[in-house]
Structure 1
Amino acid sequence: MADRLSFTLNDRPIEIAGVSPMTTLLDWLRDHRGLRGTKEGCAEGDCGACTVVLEREDGRREAVNSCIALLGQVDGLSVRTVEGLRGAAGGAHPVQVAMAEADATQCGFCTPGFVMSAYAFAAGGEKADPDTVHDALAGNLCRCTGYRPIVEAMGRVAGLAIDPPPAPVARTASVAIDGVFFAPRSLDELLMLRSAHPDARLLAGGTDLGLDASRARKPPATIIHLAHVAELKAIAADDEKITIGAAVTYTEAAPTLIEAYPALRPYLSRLGSRQIRNLGTIGGNVGNASPIGDMPPVLLALEASVRLVSRLGAREMPLEDFFAGYRKTALAPDEVIQSLSMPRLWPGEVFFCDKVSKRRDQDISTVAAGYRLRLKDGRIEDARVGFGGMAATPKRAMHVEAALKADGFAGAIAAVAKDFQPLSDWRGTADYRLQVAANLLRRLELRIAQPSRALELEAL
């Protein structure tokens, strides 16, 4: 059981003791290492000024927000900041050269974050088509509105050969720091810790929990970190269903999810940013039980089930039964989410999903929805519809489902108000949300009636 944090920083091994593992990575880089190229712009994981790159054992280089990442999360990993980019003979790195030659900087505050996102983009060997570049930069904001030359610089670095990352510090042992931060390596050990510390916060990606340490400056008293538990990192797919471990990140899960449910491709691209998806997990989104989380409405429509485990055993339940109230779940104090499973689409079934928010990128849903329909001879034989942002919990629209089967879309639109009495807040009034839900059902009707327009509608 290791009692110190060990990782690689800009190619150099680091070992830390005497610093709280609940310190944000950003604060540690700036205040303890003097690496001030990484900036704090929002302390919420929105603006990207704090972007650094995690270099993983399998060779992936992933941009992440250091303002909401806790120091304990990078144990056993490799971190690269803008100061760690080097070109030939110690000069500027080619990504930095491309940014300079394209005049892709104005005041310069956000530039290091853009450089690190461009570095991860280049290392991924991606093409410089507009959609891919937009996705790669969606998590970085330029307050000087200098996006055109930044996009030009991205085109210059696309396909750039980047040396393989160094091997991270080998870490096979579990970590326990000061009796407040635990990082188990097996499910058995996790369940023992969960039983011993029922009040500890469970940390998967930290894209929500990290806000307590960054914005609120009140990190949890005790944390159990799930990211290294192999049983929670598994992805399984067969002819009948797919299963995603609770600690699998969105980036890791995306290929499997999109292969099974193609409509998720544009939907997932609007779930946070690459920085968020590289750390955030589906299990964390479900466990957080936010009524405006992006994935629960989709999972409800897909008939997802959740597997809960404790030292006493395991149990599975439909996801709709897991949400017990606003930010409340059926999870017992000694339980953790192990995985979520969804059946594949059968012949005759279609699946679509929608997200409506105030801005396209980096925004929380005002209304989100998922729909799974079984069609036969032009009629809807079965329907599952899930909505978020319409109630205190993510919720199935049971009256809408019944109306779709009995009366078609006209009846379903009229039934929305029977299922939901939404609240009004700064994202939208109750009337607005009801109207949006009805309009999304009209869009769904067009998708069904005019399949050739489905892709066009996804872009709206």
Structure 2
Amino acid sequence: MRDTIRFIKAGQVVELTNVGPTETVLDYLRLRRQETGTKEGCGEGDCGACTIALGRLVNGKLIYQPVNSCIQLLGMIDGAELVTVEDLAQDKRLHPVQKAMVDLHGSQCGFCTPGFIMTLFTLYHAEGQEKSRKTVTEWLAGNLCRCTGYRPIIDAALEACFDAADDAFTWRSNETREQLKTLADSRDIFLGNSASFFASPSSLDGLAALYGQHPDATLVAGATDVGLWITKHLRNLPKVIWLGRIEGLDRVEETEAGVLIGATATFDATEAAMTRISPDLGELWKRIGSKQVRASGTVGGNIANGSPIGDSPPALIALGASVELQSADSERTLPLEDYFIDYGKQDRLPGEFVTGMFVPRPSANQAYRCYKISKRFDQDISSVMAAFRFTVVDGRIIEARIAYGGMAGTPKRAAGAEAALKGALLEDASTWGAAFDALSSDFTPMTDMRASADYRMETARALLAKALMETDGTAAENLRVLKKREADHDRAA
């Protein structure tokens, strides 16, 4: 067992023993190291002012990814290279990204500038990116400029980020890879005592044993949710177990039947596999948080915490996904929709944890659609999340799986609407009406700051209609029928 965390900073190995369970990377940089280039903005991973880069070995390649340091726990950077804005300039010469930002007037007040530069640093080192404004804006979706200086920032990115990387990090990449290999080990990490600790097991057996002894501990994968418990809810989390070092728990295995996803596989790591299941699913994955959030946040964490407004659960429930759970003395698998019991309550016993899930591929006669409705396109919480899988034979629906988020205390299937669609004809919208009406029995949505109950119900119906029309592919006549039905409904009301 190891009682330190180790990482690389400015080419040197840093080893720390006094790491609190909820100490963040941001606080370590600003308070301990007095490196204040990394700014504290929103404190919840939305604005990007605190962005740093983490370098890790992925299949032997050194990959840099942007991370929100305000919600990244310090212990979670064990085994990585930590890069901040202070590290970029060499011998008083600006990094190419910094120089482009200066030359093209990308820096306005300067508060957000270090975060932009660090995100663009990771784009500078990313391979195979298409040189386009779209690429840049997708990469920067998690960075906010309060001075509306986006145009020159994007110009700077287009100027600097799409040629072969040629900076100090490239020149010493072989040395960095060797350092990272040296830091990698299979020892469990435990810092603290039985009452308060940060721990990181290296195996499932080690996790099961530790969590069995401390079922009150908080399990952390990417901390994109738990980080807010610390910074916004001000929760006291004396025992933290980080899952990021468990061998094999980050697996993404594609088969003909579907995709096996380990509990610590990130949204970024699973995006390509999800896109191959369905283009709709790939588009949804791109809208789950920002680049920083997707680089850290895990699909397993999105499932395990059971949020009623989580984006991935409805999308995966409609596909018939299952979830795997394990404890010190048992393993079991259950349908994903059965995992969610009530608001904030999941079917997880003391000492039991999520190890992964299986996501089936739609068969040849199944159509899949999913949609996210939110006030902002990027980096926003869903008002309504909807997903649909229709099994169709000779133009008739013989089975429907419909799941919504934001409509109830848990992600939930629309059982009444599913039953009402059985036997409906895709080409005849007059056979769909019972399913729209059934949604009122399936859900009693709430009104909150994101949407009213009436808006949510109307949106749920509209998304069902959209999915049916897209599946049929002959929308014009069906749209006329649906508009007439809506007009008749309004007159009756």
| Distance verdict in 2 for CA 1:296–1:215, change over 3 Å | same
Alignment of 1:56-67 (within 5 A): 56-58=56-58, 59-67=62-70
Residue in 2 that maps onto 1:458? none
2:383 corresponds to 1:366: yes
Alignment of 1:36-435 (within 5 A): 36-58=36-58, 59-87=62-90, 89-125=91-127, 126-162=129-165, 163-164=169-170, 165=173, 166-167=176-177, 168=180, 170-172=183-185, 173-179=187-193, 180-407=197-424, 408-435=431-458
TM-score (norm 1): 0.95
| Distance verdict in 2 for CA 1:451–1:340, change over 3 Å | farther
Shift of 1:416: 1.1
Residue in 1 that maps onto 2:30? 30
Shift of 1:193: 0.6
SS of the equivalent of 1:192 reads helix
Of residues 124-133 and 274-283 in structure 1, the stretch that sits farther from structure 2 once superposed is: 124-133
2:463 corresponds to 1:449: no
Asked if 2 retains the 8 angstrom alpha-carbon contact of 1:174 and 1:183, the reply is yes
| Distance verdict in 2 for CA 1:206–1:320, change over 3 Å | same
One-letter amino acid of the counterpart of residue 361, structure 2 = R
SS of the equivalent of 2:296 reads coil
Of residues 371-380 and 107-116 in structure 1, the stretch that sits farther from structure 2 once superposed is: 371-380
One-letter amino acid of the counterpart of residue 175, structure 1 = I
Shift of 1:131: 2.5
Asked if 1 retains the 8 angstrom alpha-carbon contact of 2:21 and 2:239, the reply is no
* Distance in 2 (alpha carbons) for counterparts of 1:184 and 1:62: 23
Deviation digits for residues 75-115 of structure 1, max 9, x if unmatched?
1111100111135x441000101111111111010000000
Shift of 1:128: 2.6
* Distance in 1 (alpha carbons) for counterparts of 2:292 and 2:465: 33
Asked if 2 retains the 8 angstrom alpha-carbon contact of 1:289 and 1:329, the reply is yes
* Distance in 1 (alpha carbons) for counterparts of 2:133 and 2:437: 40
One-letter amino acid of the counterpart of residue 343, structure 1 = P
| Distance verdict in 2 for CA 1:69–1:391, change over 3 Å | same
SS of the equivalent of 1:263 reads helix
Shift of 1:402: 1.3
Shift of 1:282: 0.7
One-letter amino acid of the counterpart of residue 28, structure 1 = Y
Residue in 2 that maps onto 1:456? none
Shift of 1:439: 1.0
Shift of 1:451: 7.6
Residue in 2 that maps onto 1:12? 12
Deviation digits for residues 18-53 of structure 1, max 9, x if unmatched?
242421100110111111110011000000000000
Asked if 1 retains the 8 angstrom alpha-carbon contact of 2:18 and 2:191, the reply is no
* Distance in 2 (alpha carbons) for counterparts of 1:452 and 1:417: 24
* Distance in 1 (alpha carbons) for counterparts of 2:412 and 2:95: 49
* Distance in 2 (alpha carbons) for counterparts of 1:281 and 1:417: 33
| Distance verdict in 2 for CA 1:367–1:75, change over 3 Å | same
What is the Cα-based RMSD across aligned positions, in Å? 1.6
Of residues 278-287 and 167-176 in structure 1, the stretch that sits farther from structure 2 once superposed is: 167-176
Deviation digits for residues 312-344 of structure 1, max 9, x if unmatched?
121110011110110110111111111110111
* Distance in 2 (alpha carbons) for counterparts of 1:424 and 1:212: 23
Of residues 133-142 and 373-382 in structure 1, the stretch that sits farther from structure 2 once superposed is: 373-382
Deviation digits for residues 242-295 of structure 1, max 9, x if unmatched?
110011111111111111222112211111001000000011011111100000
* Distance in 1 (alpha carbons) for counterparts of 2:389 and 2:236: 39
* Distance in 2 (alpha carbons) for counterparts of 1:39 and 1:289: 31
Of residues 305-314 and 387-396 in structure 1, the stretch that sits farther from structure 2 once superposed is: 305-314
TM-score (norm 2): 0.89
461, 465, 489: which one pairs with 1:438? 461
Q: Report which of the two structures shows the higher radius of gyration computed on alpha carbons.
A: 2
Asked if 2 retains the 8 angstrom alpha-carbon contact of 1:207 and 1:276, the reply is yes
Residue in 2 that maps onto 1:457? none
* Distance in 1 (alpha carbons) for counterparts of 2:300 and 2:75: 19
Asked if 2 retains the 8 angstrom alpha-carbon contact of 1:24 and 1:213, the reply is no
Shift of 1:376: 2.0
* Distance in 2 (alpha carbons) for counterparts of 1:442 and 1:67: 41
| Structure 2 portions without partners, runs of 5+ | 425-430, 477-493
Asked if 2 retains the 8 angstrom alpha-carbon contact of 1:123 and 1:160, the reply is no
SS of the equivalent of 1:331 reads coil
Shift of 1:380: 1.4
Identical positions, percent: 42
* Distance in 2 (alpha carbons) for counterparts of 1:198 and 1:92: 49
One-letter amino acid of the counterpart of residue 425, structure 1 = D
Shift of 1:219: 4.4
Deviation digits for residues 188-210 of structure 1, max 9, x if unmatched?
10100110110000001000101
